[in-house]
Structure 1
Amino acid sequence: MKKNITFLINPISGGKTKLNFPDLAAKFLNSNIFSPTFVFTDGPGHANEMARGMVNDLTDVVVAVGGDGTINEVASGLQDSEKIMGIIPCGSGNGLARSLGIPLNERNAILRLNKLNCNNIDSAVFNERSFFNMAGIGFDAHISAIFAKNVTRGFKGYVKTAVNEVSNYKCQHYIIEIDGKRITRDAFMISIANSSQFGNNAHISPFASLKDGLLDVVITKPFPLYQFPVLGYRMFSRSAHRSKYIEIIRGKEINIIRDGGGAVHLDGEPCDMPAELKINIKPLSLTVLV
């Protein structure tokens, strides 16, 4: 029997129109395997609402067509279910898709769905909200909050925002407990890595795995301003772990207390959370076509 596959399409992700996506999918999707349905999302939260509604219907595969935020919404709705998730990456960073080896070209990503190659990956919970690729507090969350308000998206815009903000950003003090072991650190940012990278092949924790049942707590320590481009280079050369300003500790249950509430980011999407943060891993809780 054919599998019922539903594409949840964010029409504005990546700054490109998706109006022709159903025609493209119909052209390259194997019609002997799939019976497709196409739904355009109409705003934040819609993809999550649709995905949750499909957990108990006849849909077999739900495909997120969009950026990291859309992927997070769909994955959050499908995790811990028997449904299969697909990804057509159309965002500015595409961190999870890159980590899974999913082609960034839409045509090739559609063709990859035809292989029906499923894999189970870990997810994580951050104060009762899910993330699948990367979460963080500190500077990267600060930049995500500013970047979300920008009309112009894309990698260059993100870098420009970071460069403009770094000289005025103040490091914060954190109490961090990882699997029962407590440490204190002053930090520029703390990244909780399920995969190795933020997106755009910027690897903050090069050996992080989506399938090891662990999260990498990456503490970026205070550094002199002239080291900022050096740290950037290290991320793109997959050598961040070699920097004396980077400390990586793996664990399953993480508690963080900071000086006050404020911005965090979950898969690049900013939100406000209180001073006390609780993060834990959910091993192999999402089935993805890769």
Structure 2
Amino acid sequence: MDHILENSEKPIPEPSAQGAAGAGAGGEDVDEDDEDAVKAHIKKMGGEVNDSDLVARSIKCSECGKIFRSEATASFHAGRSGHDQFEESTEEIKPLTEEEKKEKLAELRAKLAEKRAAQAKEDAVSNKANEALRRKAGQDAGKIKQDMQAKEMAKEAERKRREKLEDQKARAAIKAQIEADKRERAEKAAREKALRDGGAAAQQAAAVPATVTKPAAGVSSSENPQTRLQVRLSVGGQPLTKTFPSDNTLIDVAEWIASENLNYSVDTVTFASTFPRKTFSREEMTKTLKANGLTPSAVLMAS
């Protein structure tokens, strides 16, 4: 306090003067931009140099020890490796020489070529597998299409066959109806003529069918053991002729017709006589040929 009061009126010295005095006292002129010179001067004057006082020249990964020039490269390394422990370092990364640059570039190109070759190999395997799948799918689709076409062709052929069969049946039925109508008109005309011409002509007209169904000599018509049937088919074709025992039924005849022509069924076939005109019922189908008056011979229409 006394020192302050004694020197209160004296001028305050300039800082530059103090620095010059200090430099002169040390006897050395130190370049502040020379880090090594500054460190040596501090140690010479009895001071200490801490690493924390030094300037950081790089960033070091504490986990793997790699050194990076900038925060950008350190961040890139952290993103790829997952490391998150970094510290500043005074170690300076020396720039690469031209030869080192060429070697580094060649190494990068080799790695890139190797990576491309591996990728090309993987792509080839993948493309081959995809091509196999595509071909198999195409083959399966082609087979399915062929099967569908074959089924459609079979259905179309069956449809045409049914249409043709139905057309044949219809034509045969129409033809049979026309023939029946002709016979009926002829019979009617004959009866009318017989009535006009008198009893003799009527007897002569009645004798005509009798000559057709005349039994063998010495055997009664109703007692003949054999019955000869001619069956005309409504579906067309040649008439069927066969001799049956007179004790057989019309069902036996139906079974024979069904075995000869697949268009007929035992359960659905019906018979009709042409002269006299008559359609046999299902009950009459169980009766014998003799009981139905078909002995010794008759002509039937099967439909």
Q: TM-score, normalised by structure 2?
A: 0.18
Q: Per residue, is there more strand in 1 or in 2?
A: 1
Larger Rg: 2
- Relative contact order higher in (CA < 8 Å, ≥ 6 apart): 1
Q: TM-score, normalised by structure 1?
A: 0.19
Q: Per residue, is there more helix in 1 or in 2?
A: 2
